Amino acid sequence: MTIPLASRPKAGTLQAMNFLLAVVAYLVIGAVLGLGILLAVKGSPWLLVIGFLAYVIAFGRIGCLPKKSH
């Protein structure tokens, strides 16, 4: 049984979605860090510290660690 060409998923759709999710993730972390900086100026640095730690951990796990082999 063959699948008609019209119903096959496009090859670039998954890559575009991953790119959009990465952009959204950077916007969210930027907003959290920006709000953390504003709160730190007012005397409460906790959101900045938590946001920075979340960014460092996410960057380390996703970007720097090698992929697990099967």
Report which of residues 2 and 30 the model is more confident about.
30
pLDDT in tens, 9-32: 555 566 677 788 888 888 999 999
Q: Report the C-alpha dihedral over residues 31, 36, 37, 40, rounded to 10 degrees.
A: 170
Q: Residue 4: its pLDDT value, please?
A: 63
Q: Residue 66: its pLDDT value, please?
A: 67
Close Cβ partners of 40 (under 8 Å, ≥ 6 residues apart):
47, 48
Q: Residue 2: its pLDDT value, please?
A: 62
Q: What is the pTM of this model?
A: 0.64
pLDDT in tens, 45-66: 999 999 999 888 888 777 776 6
